[in-house]
Amino acid sequence: MYYSLFNWNGLGPATRFIGLNNYKAILTDQVFVEAIEHCLIIVVFSLAVQLPLALLLAIMVGRDLPGRVFFRSVFFMPYVISEVITGIIWISMFSPDPENGLINALLVLIPGVHAQNFLGDINQVMLCVFLVLTWKYFGLHMLLYMAGLQNIPKELEEAAMIDGANRWQTIWYVTIPLLVTTIRTTIYLSVLGSLTQFPLVWIMTRGGPVNASEMMATYMYRYAFLRTQLGYGSAVALVMLVFCLIFSVAYQWLNRQPDPLSGV
Amino acid sequence: MATLDVRKVDSFKKKLPRFFQYLVLGIVTLIIIVPLVIMVFGALKTRGEMFLHPYTLPIPPHWENFGQILTTPSFWDMLRNSLFVMVASTAGVLVVCSLAAFVFARMEFRGKDLAFNILTLGLMFPITVAIMPVYLVIRQMKLIDTLLAVILVQTAFGISGNTLILRGFFLSIPAELQDAASIDGCSAFGFFWRILLPLARPALAAVGALTMIVSWNDLLTPLVLLNRDALWTLPLGTMQFQGQYSSDMALTAAFVTLSALPAILFYLFAERQIVSGLTAGALKG
């Protein structure tokens, strides 16, 4: 029952390795600072693009669209497929050679557009990584929104319609405010996931090219396990932990706001 | 006449958004499915065909790639390792979490709130953050390069979330049931074993299905804890295979297809459990 405790006890011996020098080295390492930036970029994009997209699709599929279950099954499928497989599939999709990569094969059909390097281009790699993350994870968020929609009494929306609100107004002023608990949960999952993303990035780019897609987790893995600098790696892990903690505390504070549906 | 026109406009107004909805959903469906289909098609082609026309239908299908992979013993080793780890982790999570959830849902003891808070703290630490200390502890326990290590770690990190899910479910079972059982001479554990667990079967199935998926797909834990390739699990082996045979795209596609197949089949089979487990977990946690 207390294995969970046992893991944190592990932090005890780990801290012994950490001298302040490690922290100094980490925070002055340009690569790590960039890794933090990359993580934050993914966080921002996830919140600004991935979640709204999932919400939009969830509302579109709604409660009673014919084919609802089919769409849910399909959209959620990538979540079940492992990161390794997702990564390998998308490496070939993004292949710079139109003969191998479908995306480039489609791109060169447009006149005036050349094949792109995608994962090999330091300016494009983060966008590609983000697209794949979205492909894999938006289904989870959509699923949660759909479950949240089920909990909203239909009468509330109907009442708004009768009062003369149009569809968009109803969604904006009634549905979305009522979904706020679910939205909070998805924000939580999405931010923590983005901050600690490892497998997909590792498979697709190993943090490259030239560290252009380095994440905190890949940086930690590289130092701790490939270069076996356990102390340095631990310090990186602790920085990551601090990020997660700051976010968690902020989230807990946000979570104090009451649930609008609790009175319904 | 006038009323008829209004109705026409009405139905048009209704149909247009519907059409638009299906259009958008259809496009997204394509984006999801096309990469997967291309992978399966690629697996059914010879190396030369893959090179010449990578996006066409595999006619006639070539099954040699699959044959080649299915006859390598290391593939079966990995499959067996993955299955073993998955079954053991899931069993571990189910046993530990159902007991813990029962205690948290039904018993009063000093320090319960504290223990519960510590439990929920676990939700804030994804395994990536904790992998360093986990590695050090496992190393001290001399369990590096054992499947047991992977099982322990996966079980440990499944505990927080799944205990919360099960606790939520146990709380929804009326307390009168337990009172009645104890009047009939049933001990607390007897109640748990004979009454609560059978009642909680859907919740247990959801937790189990979810844990199986997480364990099956886990890359980081085996990557850090296992060195000997005889112990590799499928994600680890798939990653290695892709690195080794990246020039033979058709063979890689076949390997990837084969290692994706169990998860997809399982998903189609247990979708309801997975979905209900995820929604229960996320909305209660």
Q: pLDDT averaged over chain B?
A: 82
Q: Which residues of B touch A199 (CB under 8 A)?
A: 219-220, 235
Q: How far apart are the C-alpha atoms of A240 and B250, rounded to whole Å? A: 39
- Residue B280 inside a domain? The answer is yes
In degrees, rounded to 5, the angle at the alpha carbon of residue B177 between the alpha carbons of residues B174 and B181 is 160
pLDDT value at position B86?
93
The whole domain housing B158 covers 87-233+270-284
CB of A168 within 8 Å of a chain B CB? The answer is: no
ipTM: 0.82
- Residue B51 inside a domain? The answer is no
**pTM listed for this prediction:** 0.83
- Residue A212 inside a domain? The answer is yes
pLDDT digits (tens, 9 = 90+) for B135-181: 888 888 888 888 898 999 999 888 888 888 888 888 888 888 888 88
Instruction: Tally A–B CB contacts below 8 A.
Output: 206
- Residue B202 inside a domain? The answer is yes
- Residue A194 inside a domain? The answer is yes
pLDDT digits (tens, 9 = 90+) for A43-65: 999 999 999 999 988 888 877 77
CA B160 to chain A, closest CA, distance in angstroms equals 7
pLDDT digits (tens, 9 = 90+) for A234-262: 778 888 888 888 888 888 787 776 655 55
The arithmetic mean of pLDDT across residues B111-136, rounded, is 81
Spatial neighbors of B131 by CB under 8 A, at least 6 apart, are A220, A237, B220, B221, B224
CB of A106 within 8 Å of a chain B CB? The answer is: no
Distances (CA, A) of B72 to A245, B67, B76, B78, B251: 46, 9, 7, 11, 13
b/e map B14-31, b = 16+ CB within 10 Å: eeeeeeebbeebeebbee
pLDDT digits (tens, 9 = 90+) for A125-167: 888 889 999 999 988 889 888 888 888 888 887 888 888 777 7
Q: Where are the beta strands (DSSP E) in chain A?
A: none
Where does the pLDDT of residue B123 fall: very low under 50, low under 70, confident under 90, or very high at 90 and above?
confident
- Residue A2 inside a domain? The answer is no
The arithmetic mean of pLDDT across residues A168-172, rounded, is 81
Compare all CA atoms of chain A with the CA of B21 and give the residue at the minimum distance: A60
The whole domain housing A197 covers 17-255
pLDDT digits (tens, 9 = 90+) for A108-131: 777 777 777 777 777 788 888 899
- Residue A164 inside a domain? The answer is yes
In degrees, rounded to 5, the angle at the alpha carbon of residue A122 between the alpha carbons of residues A116 and A125 is 65
CATH of the domain at B178: 1.10.3720.10
CATH of the domain at A82: 1.10.3720.10
The arithmetic mean of pLDDT across residues A171-186, rounded, is 84
pLDDT digits (tens, 9 = 90+) for A79-102: 888 888 898 888 888 887 777 778
Judge whether B35 and A89 are in contact, CB under 8 Å.
Answer: yes
pLDDT value at position A2?
33
- Residue B253 inside a domain? The answer is no
Q: Which of B241, B275, B273 minimizes the C-alpha distance to B258?
A: B241
- Residue A12 inside a domain? The answer is no
- Residue B4 inside a domain? The answer is no
Q: Which residues of A touch B31 (CB under 8 A)?
A: 135
Residue A121 Cα to chain centre, angstroms = 22
Q: Between B245 and A19, name the one with better pLDDT.
A: B245
- Residue A137 inside a domain? The answer is yes
pLDDT value at position A257?
64
CA atoms within 13 A on the CB side of B68: 16
Q: What is the number of domains present in chain A?
A: 1
In the block, which residue shows the tokens 């669209």? Answer: A65
- Residue A109 inside a domain? The answer is yes
Q: Which residues of A touch B55 (CB under 8 A)?
A: 102, 105
Residue A34 has pLDDT above 60, yes or no: yes
Q: Which residues of A touch B51 (CB under 8 A)?
A: 99
Contact between B24 and A225 using a beta-carbon 8 Å cutoff: no
- Residue A263 inside a domain? The answer is no
Residue A66 has pLDDT above 50, yes or no: yes
The pLDDT > 70 percentage for chain B reads 90
Residue B46 has pLDDT above 70, yes or no: yes
At B257, list the tokens: 């297809």
pLDDT value at position A61?
84
Q: What is the number of domains present in chain B?
A: 1
Q: pLDDT averaged over chain A?
A: 79
- Residue B181 inside a domain? The answer is yes
Contact between A135 and B36 using a beta-carbon 8 Å cutoff: no
- Residue B22 inside a domain? The answer is no
Q: Which residues of B touch A198 (CB under 8 A)?
A: 128, 219-220
Compare all CA atoms of chain B with the CA of A182 and give the residue at the minimum distance: B283
Q: Between B230 and A55, name the one with better pLDDT.
A: A55
pLDDT digits (tens, 9 = 90+) for B263-273: 888 888 888 88
Residue B209 has pLDDT above 70, yes or no: yes
- Residue B248 inside a domain? The answer is no
